[in-house]
Every structure is written in C-alpha cells, then in structure tokens.
Amino acid sequence: MSRVDPLQTFVSVVRARNFSSAAESLGVTPSAVSKQISALEERLGVRLLNRTTRSVSPTEAGQMFYQHCENILDSITEAEKLVTDFDDTPKGRLRITAMSNFGRKELARIFSDFSDKYPDVSFDLHISDRPLDIVKEGYDFALRIGSLEDSRLIAKPVAEQRIVICASPAYLERWGTPTTLEEVMSHRILVVANAEYARINWLRQFEKENNFTLANIERKLTVNDIDLIYEACLAGMGITALPTYVAERHIRNGELVRLFSDMEIPVRTIKVVFPQNRYLANKSRAFLDFLTAYFNNG
C-alpha cells in the first residue's frame, strides 16, 4: 500500500460515516479499514473518530485532520491530472451553470460551436437564476455577470456586456421611432425582470434630469427570461435593452434597429468563475480560451 492510503481511508470513513460503506467504496474489507484507522490513531497519539454500533463521526481533532487530509489528497489528484493530461487533446465532460440572462440560444450556439472544434468534450449545463455553490456541487465553471463575493473562487473576465436599445422595424413603422428619451415615455417597453441592465436603468438619466417617475412608463411585457423578451422584440411588441452579443447580428441583418446609439450605458463584466484550488484540465482551458475569443470576435 502507498503512504497516502491511510489518509484516503480516513477521508472515506468520515464521508461515509460508516466503516462498511467506506470499505465498499475503497474495495477492501471493513476489518482492513478498522485496522488502518486504529493504526493511524496510534501513530498520531489522538482519537480521530467517535465510534458507535451504527456510525462513526470525527472528533474535534479528527475534523481538523480531515480538512487537511482533503487538501492533501486533492493536491495529489491535481498533480496526477497535470501529468496525465499534459499531451492530451481536450476531452471529457464539463459541468457548467449559468444565469438565464445569458440567453439560452446564445449558450446553445456557444456549446455547438465549441463542440465542432472539440468533438470529444460534452456538457452538463444547469440554467438557474439562483446562485449555486459550485465548489460544493462540483461544477467546473459558472458563467456570471456582476460582483464575486466567494473567496474560494476565481473569476476570469472574458468580455464586457455592452447593452443596446433596440426595436423591430415593424414596431417602429407602427408606433414611430423615438429620437429623444422623452418620446420613449409614450412607447411600449419590454423589461427583463431578473436582469439589472434591463430594468429600464437606461432611462435613469432622463428621470434625474426631468424629475420624471419611471413608474409612469408602460411596461408592455415584464418577464424573467431574456429569450422571451428577445423574441417579443423581434416580433414587434416593443422597445427593450439587449446585450450586444444577443442583438448585434439582428441589427446587422436588419431584423432589429438600434436606438440612441450615442447613449452611454454602463457596461458589466462577463466572468467565467471556477474554484481557485482546482486544476484546469485541457478541456477547461480550451473552454476558457474559446469563450474569450467568442465574445470578443462577435
């Protein structure tokens, strides 16, 4: 047995809270697990586990030892991955979570294009407007916009989320094209409820300068899904704010018209977030590079 086996055994027992379950996961007998734990406690001169007839739990010393053992074993695993992955082409499965304000169609296009380039990589994608603990839940990446408050994570900026105000030609033909912010007040506004950029913040300037209350604006549609707002805008339902990576191609082909192109709207940063102590395999590094190029090349 290697020198790390007792540590792996101890970690497995703490996780399983049971000698038999730990033994099964390790492929050894419960008596072998018991002997290793006893030998480890004897060598350290401290009791690591509280034992009952049905379960075991770490003592205070055992809990501290467990946390250090986890870090040691994770470092060994990452070192092994670093060596075995050195000359490999990207392959395997990426577990990713993203907020819905990225747009499902945009994400589908990203994954499709990435798969064309790296056919041996597959995805497990979870869309949620509830921030997830990606360390605890085992995700490789999270795609996020906004601030990062978790010190366990690294946030790599991949692009700036620039916002444009737009409407369809059909809408403008029917309702007219506003040329001032004041004229917008008589138009139909589409709002993404869970996206800060789209909560008509682009009209705050007018509100401050003219003592106007934004509550007076007709919100023709408010919904917590950017794709529905995007489709409603294309269908001629109203004026909305969209990220350039969603709207730009439709503006270029004439399906949408950009309004107030000289208006400066604060940008937000699109980040790829991942655990700071996790080794980035080739598949992960390839995905980071691909996203950066994708957003910056349009």
Q: What is the CATH number of the domain that holds 54?
A: 1.10.10.10
- Look up the CATH number of the domain holding residue 109: 3.40.190.10
pLDDT exceeds cutoff 80 at 205: no
Q: Phi-psi category of 134—alpha, beta or left, where left has phi over 0 and alpha has psi -120 to 50? A: alpha
Q: Are residues 251 and 167 in the same domain?
A: yes
pLDDT tens for each residue of 5-51: 788 899 889 988 888 888 888 888 888 888 999 999 999 999 999 98
Residue 264 within any structural domain of the chain: no
Distance CA 115, CA 105 (A): 15
Residues 189 and 255 in one domain: yes
Q: Three-state DSSP class for 32?
A: helix
Q: Which of 60, 84, 108 is the last residue of a domain?
A: 84
Tell me: do 137 and 190 sit in the same domain.
no
- pLDDT, one tens digit per residue, over 62-117 is 899 988 888 788 777 766 666 655 556 788 889 999 877 676 777 888 899 999 99
Is the same domain home to 30 and 79?
A: yes
Number of domains within the chain: 3
pLDDT single digits (tens) 186-203:
888 888 776 554 445 555
Closest CA to 72 of 117, 17, 10: 10
Tell me the pTM.
0.58
- Sequence-ordered list of residues with C-beta below 8 angstroms from that of 189, at least 6 positions apart, any chain: 200, 217, 218, 219, 220, 238, 239, 240
Instruction: Using the 3D structure, point to which of 84, 110, 130 is the last residue of a domain.
Output: 84
Q: Provide the domain limits for residue 229.
A: 163-259
Query: Are 118 and 192 found together in one domain?
Result: no
The rounded mean pLDDT for the chain is: 81
| SS3 label, residue 159 | strand
The answer to whether residues 288 and 158 touch, using CB atoms and an 8 Å cutoff, is: yes
Q: Specify if 245 maps to a domain.
A: yes
